[in-house]
Chains A and B, each alone.
Chain A
Amino acid sequence: MTFTQWFQSWGGEAFGWFLATTVLILMIALPLMLAVAMIIYADRKIWAAMALRRGPNVVGPLGLLQSFADGLKVMLQETIIPSAANRGLFLLAPIITFTVALIVWAVIPFGPGMVLADINVGLLYLLAASSLGVYGVIISGWASNSKYPFYSALRAAAQMVSYEVSIGFVLISVVLWADSFNLSKIVLEQQGHVLGFFNGFGFNPLLFPMAVVFLISALAETARAPFDLTEAESELVAGYQTEYSSMSFALFWLGEYANVILMCGLNAILFWGGWLPPVDWAPLYAVPGIIWFFSKILIFFFIFSWIKATVPRFRYDQLMRLGWKVFLPLSLIWVFLVSGYLMLTRYGA
């Protein structure tokens, strides 16, 4: 008996389903918020360690409660709305960012069968929802009615649209190989993918370059360093967040980090076997799939933080060049290569 069926057994067909789905949504969203709080702490600790600093170490043991203290602080602050701002849109923007960052988690498989909505266009849903994220940034930049947020909004619009193009082509290579848009099927297709032993498209020499392109595009898509030109503090104060305070700022903050975790998870799902262990060896399957998935997310988050701590920020023209003149042709050629290879081997020319 599944979770939904248990609810339906006493709540009736429709009401039980509604109740079960609501509980499942909360079971994803609340731990996600906790994860965001802890990952912000991890980000600051990793960054500090690489800069030979201590990082947060005062609030709670080892500074573990730092994020909660910050959360409490912003919650108690006053929400300031600039008098020249477009009031409705100004408040709507962080809500959009936050909501979009949460809804994408609906299709993420945490383990075999552990997915809220197992839809057959899962990957397209992800792409669609993540392309909505840019609206939070654009609307906040325009509604603030202030120079720097506006610059930031224009940068964000161009940057995210550019990198979505190459992400789209990378996803097509993966979909061609997995023969499905369903994320659970994509993960299962990776079992024993290389030599019947390695679980993951990333171990495939033909798909590994796409894994690298996807990792870098994911950095650009989430506006993480070295592509954080939308909030480049040396040029734009704090970018689109400049005029925000209190909870409206916190929503941007939470949404941004939820997106970063999502992109780490997507890297794991698309190229490194999701909930599967890295190699197809029976004892490794004793560990629950969700542990493998979370440890892969954490490894990718460490890589993200590592890059943030070591790589200097790109110039804007370099960012555009990388997106349009390097990644777009490369991923386009790779779609051609992958489909050609599959045509010869799988579908018999």
Chain B
Amino acid sequence: MIQAFAFYLFAAIVILSGALTVLSRNPVHSVLWLILAFFNAAGLMVLVGAEFIAMLLVIVYVGAVAVLFLFVVMMLDIDFAELRSGFVRYGFFGLLIALVLAGELIIAGGAWSAGAIDIANRTAPVSTDLSNIEAMGALIYSKYLYVFEAAGLVLLVAMIGAIVLTHRERKDVRPQNISDQVKRRPQDAVRNIDQPVGQGVEL
């Protein structure tokens, strides 16, 4: 009973906050609703016994990605009237994408319930007495090792690409040299002198 209650609670909040993400007038509110949706999706993951995925979802998406989202959105200076004016123009494409996604969801649901695919091929076979993390590790680092490494390489290339695209060498600024700053001692910078009255200081 409690499982069903928890499922409907999490699922309802995910759908509600997903809808509010789209419907909110304020983009910062949208991001906050999105975060609530992530968080409750993690709750759903816990319910199906994938606690490792749930924790990763919270750490990576809620704890890092959404923070940077919020960071950027908070700094945007958004003209709401202009944002609304494009609604009709982009509405058609939005509707098209929504229809495609809905169609895919229905097909996926239909295929799942039809059960045409052999159950053994649906998911990788995992012995049930292992904990979540051990089971995933055993699969990722043996059966799917090359795919996993390839994913890592793609991410590395994407990261380098992002750095190359956004980094620009600026000639007009003087970067700080930390080791010089740390090595600097008071006697390099300060001089105590006993200056008689009425005489200038030699600099």
Contacts and interface: CB of A to CB of B under 8 A. Distances in A.
26 contacts: A89-B32, A120-B51, A121-B132, A121-B133, A124-B55, A125-B55, A128-B55, A128-B58, A128-B62, A128-B63, A131-B64, A134-B67, A138-B74, A139-B32, A142-B70, A142-B74, A153-B74, A154-B74, A154-B75, A158-B71, A161-B67, A161-B68, A164-B63, A168-B59, A181-B133, A318-B178
B144 to A, nearest CB: 20
B113 interface: no
Given A142-B28, A321-B178, A121 B51 contact: yes
B28 to A, nearest CB: 6
Given A134-B67, A160-B67, 12 more contacts: A120-B131, A124-B55, A124-B56, A128-B59, A131-B58, A131-B63, A157-B70, A157-B71, A161-B63, A161-B68, A164-B63, A317-B176
Interface string A119-155: 1110011011101101100110010000000100110
Point out which of A129, A138, A318 has the most chain B C-beta atoms below 10 A from its C-beta: A138
Interface of A: 14, 89, 119-121, 124-125, 127-129, 131-132, 134-135, 138-139, 142, 150, 153-154, 157-158, 160-161, 164, 168, 181, 317-318, 321
Contact of A157 (B51, B52, B56, B67): B67
Task: Name the interface size band of chain B.
Answer: 20 to 34
Interface of B: 2, 28, 32, 35, 51-52, 55-56, 58-59, 62-64, 67-68, 70-71, 74-75, 131-133, 176, 178
Contacts of A14: 2
Contacts of B70: 138, 142, 157
A112 B87 CA distance: 60
A224 to B, nearest CB: 20
Contacts of B131: 120
Contacts of A132: 58, 62-63
A205 B165 CA distance: 41
A158 B75 CA distance: 13
Contacts of B51: 119-121
Contacts of B75: 154
Point out which of A14, A150, A160, A161 has the most chain B C-beta atoms below 10 A from its C-beta: A161
Contacts of B2: 14
Contacts of A89: 32
Nearest to B178: A321
A168 B32 CA distance: 24
A194 B164 CA distance: 45
B34 to A, nearest CB: 12
A150 B58 CA distance: 24
A145 to B, nearest CB: 11
Contacts of A161: 63-64, 67-68
Contacts of B68: 157, 161
Nearest to A126: B55
Contacts of A153: 74
Contact of A124 (B59, B62, B67, B71): B59
Nearest to A139: B32
A127 to B, nearest CB: 5
A127 B64 CA distance: 11
Nearest to B55: A124
Q: Which 9 interchain pairs have the tightest Cβ spacing?
A: A131-B63, A128-B58, A124-B55, A128-B59, A157-B71, A128-B55, A121-B51, A142-B74, A120-B131
A140 to B, nearest CB: 12
A127 B59 contact: yes
A121 B131 CA distance: 9
Point out which of B32, B58, B63 has the most chain A C-beta atoms below 10 A from its C-beta: B63
A127 B60 CA distance: 10
A194 to B, nearest CB: 26
A126 to B, nearest CB: 9
A124 B136 CA distance: 15
Contacts of B132: 120-121
Contacts of A160: 67
A225 B160 CA distance: 34
B30 to A, nearest CB: 13
